Structures are given as C-alpha cells and as structure tokens.
Structure 1
Amino acid sequence: MNPAKSPDVPQPPVIGKVSHHSIEMSWMNGENKSPTGPAEHRTHFSVEQMDPKTHTFSSIYIGYSTRHLVEELKSSTYYSFRLMVTRPSGECSFSPAVSVFTNREPFNGKNLHQALNRENEQELTTVLQSGVVNVDVNDKMGLTPLMVAAQKGFTSLADILVKHGADINKRDSTGKNSLMQACYSGHLDMVKYLRNCGSTWQSRDTDGCSPLHWAVDGGHLPVITFLIQDGCEVDVMDKVSLWTPLMRVSAISGNAAVACVLLQAGADVNVRDKAGKTPLMVAVLNNHVELVKLLLDSGADQHLKNEYGAGAADMAKAFGRQNIMNLLDKISMEDSNRLTSTEQFCYGDKK
C-alpha cells in the first residue's frame, strides 16, 4: 500500500488535451474555500516551465484559476512543468514536475510538396496515406503536386499521386494541365504516362493553346514527334491570335528544326492568323533568317499580304532586315528565271 502524500506537497498539474502546439493542464483547488472571495482569503497558483538547457523553472502563469492552456509550443518536443501553490497564510509549496511530449504536427500540403521536390517516394506515400492532405493541394505558385511532377519528369512519383486520386485534368491559373507542363518541359516518359492515364491532345489552356503548342514552345523534338505520331492535330489554332504551332515557332523561338518536323507532318506553310499574317511574315518580323529560308524552301508564298496590304518583303524593308531582303530578292529572281525558261520552252524565240 502506497503511503499517503503529504498535504503540504501539491499534486502536479493534471495533463489534459495535448496537440502539436499546445498543452491543457488543470489542478485541484481543494484548499481554496472562497475561490471568489477577497484575495487575502484565496489560494493562488503559479505554473512554472523548466528550461531544458539550464533546468531552471520560470513562471508562465500566475493567478487564481485552476486550469491553464500553454500555447505556441514546438511539435514532437518534451516539456516539464510544476505547480507552485501560495496559500492565504503566505506559505508556498511546489509540486513534483510533470513531463509532456507534444504531438507530431499533422501533415499538410507543404509536407506533400516537400516530399515531391525531394523526390522521396516513401515520404510522399506516408503523407498521402495519412489521409489528411488533399492530393491536389496547390503550392504557392498554384501548381498541384502532379503538375510539379510533370514539370520535373518524376514519373514514378506521378504514378503514386495518380494512384492516390490525383486529377490529371486539373489546371493552373493559366489553364495548363499536367500534360502541357510535361510537353513544355520535354519529359517524354511523363507525356506517355499521362496519355496512358487518359490525358488528351484536345485539352486547351485559357488562350486555347494545345499540348502541341507548349511542346513547340519548349523546343523538344522527341516530344513533338511523339505527339504528331500519336495523332495530335498539327495545325491546331489558339483562340486569341489564331496561331498554329508553326506560327508559334515563327513568333517565339525561330527554331528551324522544330519547324521542319511540323512541315514534314503537313503543317500549312501559308496559314494565316487573325491579322492575316503568315508564318513567313512573322518570321521576317522576328528576324529568324534560317527559318525564313526553310519556309521559302517549303513553299511559303512571299507575295501574300496581311490585312493591311503588307507582305513579307514590305516588312523586311520596314525593319531593315537586309539579309532577309536579299533572300527574298534571290527567290524572286529564281522564280522569274524559271518563268522565263518556261516561256522559252513553250513558245520559243519570237524574234
């Protein structure tokens, strides 16, 4: 049988609810006969917390209440407390110390994205299996974990996310989905994986751009080739400027190798945008000399005019594109010579 404790030694605080950042505690007030009476007739209490480095105690609460909530604590950390009781007589006594271990902080979206960015499959799985984190939670850039995986080419992590319910059709603020992210970043394995999961080439962002538009912007030939072989429409237009992927090449990168793949797949070399411009005109405006040559060799018509009546030669002259002007003049002269040769062949010398 345990010996009774001395009435002069208070019991330690009774620990109530413990979270990752707070601890509830209470204590008995049996000695306080008049808890609401005059202060001189009341027992008051002080909750003291121990400093783990110095092992000294300091007060975190002083008053007449018999309960206290300690907040702003660290998760997964030991804390020690004791109770000092001061009776109306002025006599003070201390309780034994009581130690408490705060809970681990609940998983959240930040933990999920951190696991993904560390490419840690086990950590990612642990967070998802906790059941408290939305698999499609956005990071501060508005991207879901699957979008980030698509950008980085983390195919095995993408598979974990999809198996835990990630939405392959989720879009960011500009309307790009994970497939577009993978196409732009050039991760062919990821592109194939998302296609197998049901992602479609018909998806569009807020400007009406397709996955092929984004693959072309990224300049990744294997991805572009796969998209075309997989049935992606090569002359798909956005809904803002009516630009096809070939027009995007003319306007942005000027990448002749990308343009060559598109042209070999049947891209319309003389397609017109909303303002009546052709890929040739746009390439001239952006001084993409190699692309201009490729487009001309592929049948681009330099005599076409935009809605303001200006053609490729007019634009080259207006912006002082001398190399391009020389190229256009050369093509015009060759066309003229071919016409003269044809006339001589058909009609002979009339002199």
Structure 2
Amino acid sequence: MQTLTDDFFNAARTGDLAFLRQHIGEMKDLNVRDSRGYTPLIIATYNGQLEAAEILLEAGADVNAADYGGNTSLMGVCFKGYPDIATLLIRHNADLNLQHGNGGTALMFAAMFGRNNLVKLLLDHGADKYVRENRGLTAIDLAAQQGNAEGVELLDAVDADN
C-alpha cells in the first residue's frame, strides 16, 4: 500500500510540483529517509528536478542531508552535471567541503566526471581543492587520473590566482 511518504518521494523524483505543494504541509519530516538514506531533496536533485528542489528547500529541507554513504545533494548534482541545481544548493548554504564515506567531496565528483563548469562554480564559491579523500588524493589528482586536462588546469589556476 502506497503511503504519503512513498508518494512524496515519487513526486520529488518526477517533479510533480502540484503534489509537492499540496502535501508538503502534511509531511512530518521533510528529511525522511528511504531504505538507502535518500531524502526527498536528494532524490529531486539527483533526478534533475530543479523546481522540486526549490520547493523542498524553501519548506526547510536540510541542504546538507546525506544518504547512508555520506553522499549529499551537492555531490549528486556534481556527479550528474546539473549546474543550475548546484547553484540553488549553494545559495541555500550547501557545505562545499563535506566528505562522504570514502572522503570524496562535491569538487572531487565534478573533477572526476569532467563536470568542469561545476569545478569552476565550486572553486568560485570557495570549495577547498586541498581536501584529501581516504587514499590521500585531492581533486586535482582525481582529475589527472581521469584524463580531465581542463579540470586539472582549472584546479591548478586557483594557485596561480593567489
């Protein structure tokens, strides 16, 4: 049997803005988690639902909530490549340097997956390129490993500007 929570997650996933607006007040906890620890905001952002994410954030969803692996919405959009949603999350004070279970950051995801517009966005907003993941690698190391020459240049240019 479908519950309000199930329907709410589905609305976040599909961008059903009317449902979200109609039922947001009925949700006891906007940061409720599914079996993987995903919140409605994580689901909305990962699925590219900008307006759904905006509704959730305006209603008080935790911009820095993480799934059970420590992945946040910002990390997900940096993996997927959604700069508009990343900008929204940053406007809502997303922590740019949170680390997931293996020590990775949003900047590392952007660098690894060649999302260089997001690398630039994160750097412009103060992401720390010196954070190391569990193996001791930084975002520039991960960009180099993946052959992301433009990402390496962007990350390297931060030092040149200082």
TM-score relative to the length of structure 1 = 0.45
Aligned equivalent of 1:17: none
Structure ranking higher on relative contact order (CA contacts 8 Å, 6+ apart): 2
* Higher alpha-carbon Rg: 1
Equivalences for 1:4-15 in 2 at 5 Å? none
Aligned counterpart for 1:181 among listed residues 10, 19, 24: 10
TM-superposed CA distance for 1:199, in Å, is 5.6
Q: Which has the higher helix share?
A: 2
Q: Flag as ranges the 4+ runs of structure 1 deviating above 6 A.
A: none
Q: Structure 1's 168 and 199: CA in aligned 2 closer, same or farther, altered over 3 A?
A: farther
Instruction: Determine if contact 2:31/2:65 at 8 Å carries over to the other structure.
Output: no
Q: Which runs of 5+ in 2 are unaligned?
A: none
In 1, the alpha carbon distance for the partners of 2:126 and 2:82 equals 18
Query: What letter is aligned with 1:168?
Result: L
In 1, the alpha carbon distance for the partners of 2:146 and 2:67 equals 27
1:168 has 2:20 as partner: no
TM-superposed CA distance for 1:218, in Å, is 2.0
Aligned equivalent of 1:210: 39
Equivalences for 1:31-46 in 2 at 5 Å? none
Q: Which runs of 5+ in 1 are unaligned?
A: 1-135, 137-143, 145-166, 170-176, 336-351
Instruction: Determine if contact 1:249/1:259 at 8 Å carries over to the other structure.
Output: yes
Aligned equivalent of 1:315: 142
Aligned with 2:12: secondary structure? Answer: helix
Equivalences for 1:1-351 in 2 at 5 Å? 136=1, 144=2, 167-169=3-5, 177-198=6-27, 200-239=29-68, 241-251=69-79, 253-335=80-162
Q: How many residues were matched structurally?
A: 162
Aligned with 2:4: secondary structure? Answer: coil
Aligned equivalent of 1:125: none
CA shift digits 1:51-98 (9 cap, x unpaired): xxxxxxxxxxxxxxxxxxxxxxxxxxxxxxxxxxxxxxxxxxxxxxxx
Q: Percent identity?
A: 30
In 1, the alpha carbon distance for the partners of 2:63 and 2:159 equals 29
TM-score relative to the length of structure 2 = 0.94
TM-superposed CA distance for 1:200, in Å, is 3.3
